[in-house]
């Protein structure tokens, strides 16, 4: 006995003690609290709440079947599945993840040997589908799966910590034993420029119109042209980020920045701006528009058959004449038109840095076909995103100065320090004088003489443009269906808001003035009231449409 004591205590003592310490030592990860994503007013769109992961040390379990049955009585589920996970020699196995602290308290009261918890958290989206395609979601592995959750994943995630301690036979910490570890560092929070209420209204309005028009999808962009801040970025269909597994992948992407399409007549504002800026015409310039425009390679028509029309340049835009737009664009030529399209940002990144963002496309004149000049002039043969299209009109609304669109207002560090986002870049595209003339022409579009009287708002001066573009169908790589759109601004003489509305492949009608303009009116009316933007009280100086 004496020899055995000497052997165990003196000879093998250090080794056995170390083995005992190792057997009792547990190290758990202390996850960092993920930063919030809020709207411009600090309303949470994505936040983190406390949770517990339930784990098991299989070597400490005495009766797997009995313990599993007790666990199932609290957690629900199949007891046999829990029994399988509780059987074996593994020191660490998950039984359940992200349960509420209240549920863990019930499990802890069972005092099951080998069953314990670790600190965790779960991501929740209080607004549900509101702004879901912008915010995105967090996947099961704790990383951003889409949207800004993915784009800002590293900054939002923070840095996890750890804690090592001596545990009892039941896996609980021995209070008097030594412990060590490092604290976790919370993630950064991101404040967006989105306004939750405007975002909700935009989503609700476009969802109802998509259903009524039997369209494939719809998008609404609401911008402040002076700052580039986006108040709403709505797309339908959408999804619930609290249940991302239930959503189709096509409904998760943010169509407003990822999907490109040919703009059609809404693009004519760039052509008109270029012609006026180059001093080749003004709103009163007279243009004789024939019933058709015959060229050696193609005969161009307007959407509605007509005889010879005597339109002013203002009338060409108000009546959305393709033929008149081609005749006006000939005053400056293809090279000059292309240079203005690029200055307006077509084919360039918007600066949003949103995951999966598309740049759009406009071919250089060296790659134009014999018909490209005419079609590009009135909005076919080039492609852009909804945000790019809204930015074009925001440039005209902001007196010709293009301000890069932005979705992020600022960042809040873990210590509570708020840092505003860097000021967006700006580019002078046309002069203030040109922008003022174009805005006045766009007001004619919303009058009874134009194509969008349904966009008019009582008491406010409204300017905008309809679009009814042939739509490229990827399934056949051909034109099939339409993109119906309206982009406008208010108050027209001192614009505070620009709103762009798009419906893809509507089957119950297809004209932008009939389908998109009413959505614009609804969202703009709400936004003006919500932001307390009063009418200017001025009257639009009527510009002749005919001569």
- Residue 182 shares a structural domain with residue 200: no
What pLDDT does residue 449 have? 85
Tokens at residue 372, please? 């490209």
- Residue 102 shares a structural domain with residue 237: no
Choosing from 167, 192, 217, the residue where a domain stops is 192
- Residue 187 shares a structural domain with residue 218: no
Choosing from 162, 192, 222, the residue where a domain stops is 192
Q: How far apart are CA 252 and CA 147, in angstroms?
A: 8
- Residue 292 shares a structural domain with residue 436: yes
Q: Which residues of 65-83 are buried (b: 16+ CB within 10 A; e: fewer)?
A: eebbebbbebbeeebeebb
- Active-site choice (167, 184, 189, 265): 265
* Domain range enclosing 412: 196-530
Residue ranges of the chain whose pLDDT lies below 50 = 169-171
- Residue 340 shares a structural domain with residue 446: yes
What pLDDT does residue 508 have? 97
* 281 CB neighbour count, 10 Å cutoff: 19
- Residue 182 shares a structural domain with residue 307: no
- Residue 253 shares a structural domain with residue 378: yes
What pLDDT does residue 546 have? 95
- Residue 350 shares a structural domain with residue 329: yes
**C-beta of residue 503 within 8 angstroms of C-beta of residue 215:** yes
Q: Strand locations in 474-519, DSSP E? A: 478-490, 497-504
**C-beta of residue 450 within 8 angstroms of C-beta of residue 416:** no
Positive or negative, the Cα torsion across 75, 80, 81, 86? positive
Q: Is residue 342 part of a domain?
A: yes
Domains of the chain: total: 2
- Residue 121 shares a structural domain with residue 205: no
Q: Is residue 173 part of a domain?
A: no
pLDDT tens-digit series, residues 125-159: 999 999 999 999 999 888 999 999 999 999 999 88
Q: Is residue 66 part of a domain?
A: no
- Look up residue 148 and give its DSSP letter: H
Residues 6+ apart with CB under 8 A from 349: 357, 359
What pLDDT does residue 21 have? 56
CATH number for 99: 3.90.1310.10
Q: Is residue 10 part of a domain?
A: no
Q: How far apart are CA 452 and CA 445, in angstroms?
A: 6
- Residue 234 shares a structural domain with residue 338: yes
- Residue 110 shares a structural domain with residue 248: no
CATH number for 403: 3.40.710.10
Q: Which residues of 296-310 are buried (b: 16+ CB within 10 A; e: fewer)?
A: eeeebebeeeeeebe
265 noted as active-site residue: yes
pLDDT tens-digit series, residues 382-399: 999 999 999 999 999 999
Q: Is residue 146 part of a domain?
A: no
Residues 6+ apart with CB under 8 A from 262: 379, 380, 381, 382, 383, 469, 470, 471, 472, 483
Q: Is residue 4 part of a domain?
A: no
Q: Is residue 240 part of a domain?
A: yes
> In sequence order, what DSSP letters do the residues of 66-129 get, joined into one string?
HHHHHHHHHH-S-HHHHHHHTSSS-S-EEEEEEE-HHHHHHHHTT--TTEEEEEEEEEE-TTTT
- Residue 376 shares a structural domain with residue 515: yes
- pTM exceeds 0.75 for this model: yes
Q: How many whole angstroms from its chain centre is CA 246? A: 19
């Amino acid at each position: 006995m004496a020899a055995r004591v000497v052997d165990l205590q003196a000879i093998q003592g250090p080794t056995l003690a170390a083995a005992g310490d190792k057997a009792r030592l547990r190290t758990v990860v202390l996850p960092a609290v993920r930063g919030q994503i809020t709207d411009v007013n600090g309303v949470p769109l994505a936040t983190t709440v406390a949770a517990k992961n339930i784990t098991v040390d299989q070597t400490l379990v005495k009766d797997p079947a009995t313990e599993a049955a007790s666990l199932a009585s609290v957690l629900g589920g199949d007891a046999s599945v829990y029994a399988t996970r509780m059987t074996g020699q593994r020191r660490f196995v998950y039984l359940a993840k992200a349960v509420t602290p209240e549920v863990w308290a019930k499990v802890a009261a069972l005092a099951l040997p080998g069953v314990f918890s670790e600190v965790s958290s779960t991501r929740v989206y209080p607004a549900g589908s509101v702004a879901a395609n912008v915010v995105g979601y967090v996947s099961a592995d704790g990383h951003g799966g889409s949207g800004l959750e993915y784009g800002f994943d590293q900054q939002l995630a923070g840095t996890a910590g750890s804690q090592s301690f001596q545990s009892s036979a039941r896996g609980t910490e021995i209070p008097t034993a030594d412990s060590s570890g490092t604290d976790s560092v919370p993630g950064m929070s991101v404040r967006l420029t989105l306004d939750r209420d405007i975002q909700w209204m935009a989503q609700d309005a476009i969802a109802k119109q998509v259903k009524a028009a039997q369209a494939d999808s719809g998008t609404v962009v609401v911008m402040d042209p002076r700052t580039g801040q986006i108040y709403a970025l709505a797309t339908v269909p959408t999804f619930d980020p609290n249940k991302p597994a239930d959503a189709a992948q096509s409904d998760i992407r943010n169509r407003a920045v990822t999907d490109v399409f040919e703009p059609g007549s809404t693009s004519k504002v760039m052509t008109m701006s270029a012609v006026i800026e180059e001093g080749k015409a003004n709103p009163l310039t007279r243009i004789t528009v024939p019933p058709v425009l015959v060229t050696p390679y193609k005969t161009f028509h307007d959407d509605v058959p007509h005889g010879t029309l005597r339109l002013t340049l203002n009338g060409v835009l108000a009546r959305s004449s393709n033929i008149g737009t081609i005749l006006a664009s000939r005053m400056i030529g293809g090279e000059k038109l292309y240079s203005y399209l690029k200055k307006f940002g077509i084919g360039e990144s918007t600066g949003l840095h949103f995951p999966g963002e598309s740049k759009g496309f406009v071919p250089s004149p060296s790659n134009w076909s014999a018909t490209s000049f005419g079609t590009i002039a009135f909005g076919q043969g080039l492609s852009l995103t909804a945000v790019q299209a809204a930015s074009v009109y925001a440039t005209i609304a902001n007196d010709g100065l293009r301000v890069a669109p932005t979705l992020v207002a600022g960042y809040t560090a873990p210590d509570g320090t708020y840092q505003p986002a860097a000021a967006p870049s700006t580019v002078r595209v046309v002069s203030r004088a040109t922008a003022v003339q174009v805005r006045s022409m766009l007001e004619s579009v919303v009058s009874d003489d134009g194509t969008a009287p349904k966009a008019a708002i009582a008491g406010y001066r409204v300017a905008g443009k309809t679009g009814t573009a042939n739509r490229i169908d990827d399934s056949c790589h051909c034109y099939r269906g339409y993109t119906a759109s309206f982009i406008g601004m208010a108050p027209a003489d001192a614009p505070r808001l620009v709103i762009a509305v798009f419906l893809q492949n509507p089957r119950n009608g297809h004209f932008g003035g009939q389908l998109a303009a009413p959505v614009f009116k609804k969202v703009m009316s709400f936004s003006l009231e919500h932001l307390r933007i009063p009418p200017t009280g001025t009257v639009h100086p009527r510009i002749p449409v005919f001569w």
